Amino acid sequence: MEEQLDHQAGPPEQGEPAGGSEPATQVEEPPAEAEPHSMETAVSPLTRGQIVDGLIVQLDDQGALVDVGTKSEGHIPANEMGATTHEDGRPLAVGDRVPVFVVRAEDEEGSPVLSKRMADYESTWHRLTRAHEQRQVISAMVTDRVKGGLVVDLGVRGFLPASHVRIRNVHALDRLVGQSIKVKIIEVDRARKRVVVSHKDAVDEERQKRREQTLAGIEENQVCKGVVRRITEYGAFVDVGGVDGLLHVTEISWTRIDHPSEALKVGDRIDVIVLRYDREQNRISLGRKQILPDPWEQVRDKFKVGQVVSGTVSRVVPFGAFMKLDTGIEGIIPNSELPGGRSAKAQDVLKVGDKLEAKVVNIRAPERRMTLSLRQMQQTEERRELKEYMARQEDESRVTIGDLFGDMLSEAGVTPPAESEPAPDLVENVAEELVAQEELALRLEEETLHSEVEEGTEAEAEPVEERASEEA
């Protein structure tokens, strides 16, 4: 149960008001036998120490006139007004009823001398005593940092020991100054004007209440908001309403991450889904990737077999290497698809962080697998360069009879044809045949490579991809 307490000036010391200025009328400490919570309609004559109900009939900078049921209104000096607002924050106004403390039954003019500040003070002690007895959680404003803890305003001065502050770094207590926090009163000593409070007990109690409410209403597949409280090697603990659930590292993202800190940090507010709830052990398993877009669902729209893709080597394993693409998914480059063929090993030619271009040779979106090839990428580049070379050779292979037999014809006294004239059909046919043979050899090479991919490479890729999936 919470009760908001008025934040008023501290208790009067040795009969002096806490405001620091001298009161218009000397105010003495109320007698010990006075009931601090007694509030009754005043009847004449008033007695010193009473707390009575009064009606404000005039209010200005000089104080207030209050009707307490006597023949003349009582006067409250400005420095005895205390709080100028009600508990709900409304400012005091003419017509409001307020409790007042009788300082003197009559002054020289026969009017009562009253103090609202002292009535507030007595009322505050009564409420603090009741909050302590009922173990209520209340609000308090942190006003100062002192040796050993913090000072809080409860209407009277309260002390919060550093050991009772729910904060990870006790050296950062200064950050709480000026903030309103929840506390529980653990000690009240009216005679010594001492109040000790605990922030830790209040937080723990409220957390336990939230925990009970959360456990009573939690269901599997329920999406809820949480706060990351702690990060470990295997996952993150997320507070989902007073209860910590485990978000395993494999459930954080669709893409592989080696440590939860790559995607989360303490204090992050995230949405999670309840995967499993063990009511007997009160253990909750959470997921996050299930409510995030799955990049594998767009793989077939973004990638095609034969496409050249760019990426970075994210892992090197005995059977190959994983390359992370721009979309975040990983493709496997088996050892058999490295330059050098089956004898090559990824650990000998690649390292994490290498930026590569590879050719897509297989996509299995339902199985979340993509096979990439550096070997075929290299062969494609070599074939392109060969075609360019052959094209240049074809342009340079056009010869004339003069090129072939010019010297012999000159010695025989025969003038050869001009260089611009083409050679006989026989010579041209020889050149064309050479080009045709080169193109035939190129087609045979392509068919051989295609056969290897379909027969040999696919047979090796199957167990490799299965091992890669297990590793992932």
* pLDDT above 80: residue 367: yes
pLDDT of residue 247: 94
pLDDT tens digits for range 15-25: 333 333 333 33
Please give the Cα distance from 92 to 83 (Å, whole number).
9
Alpha helices (runs of H) in 307-398, residue ranges in sequence order: 346-349, 375-396
Rounded mean pLDDT, 236-247: 90
* pLDDT above 50: residue 176: yes
Question: What secondary structure letter does DSSP report for 141?
Answer: E
Angle between helices 425-452 and 375-396 (to 10 degrees): 180
Rounded mean pLDDT, 44-59: 82
pLDDT of residue 144: 92
Contact (Cβ atoms closer than 8 angstroms) between residue 140 and residue 5: yes
pLDDT of residue 416: 54
pLDDT of residue 36: 44
pLDDT tens digits for range 195-204: 999 999 998 8
pLDDT of residue 436: 56
Contact (Cβ atoms closer than 8 angstroms) between residue 53 and residue 41: yes
Strands 244-248 and 283-287: parallel
pLDDT of residue 17: 37
pLDDT tens digits for range 422-438: 444 544 454 455 445 54
Domains of the chain in start order, with CATH, are 2-124 (2.40.50.140), 135-203 (2.40.50.140), 219-291 (2.40.50.140), 295-375 (2.40.50.140), 377-470 (no CATH)
pLDDT of residue 16: 38
Beta-sheet strands, E only, within 176-300: 180-189, 194-198, 223-231, 235-239, 244-248, 269-278, 283-287
pLDDT of residue 356: 87
pLDDT of residue 271: 93
Instruction: For the chain, give the percent of residues with pLDDT over 70.
Output: 72
Rounded mean pLDDT, 124-134: 90
In the chain, DSSP finds a helix count (H) and a strand count (E) of: 8, 22
Helix H or strand E encompassing 207: helix 199-217
Contact (Cβ atoms closer than 8 angstroms) between residue 225 and residue 299: no
Please give the Cα distance from 164 to 150 (Å, whole number).
10
Nearest to 336 by CA among 462, 444, 445: 462
* pLDDT above 90: residue 231: yes
Supply the mean pLDDT for the chain: 76
pLDDT tens digits for range 286-306: 999 988 888 887 787 788 888
pLDDT tier for residue 398 given thresholds of 50, 70 and 90 = low
pLDDT tier for residue 394 given thresholds of 50, 70 and 90 = low
Beta-sheet strands, E only, within 61-105: 63-67, 74-77, 97-104
Q: Please give the angle made by the CA atoms of 39, 42 and 46, to the nearest 5 degrees.
A: 110
- Count how many Cα atoms sit within 13 Å of the Cα of residue 177 in the half-sphere of its side chain: 11
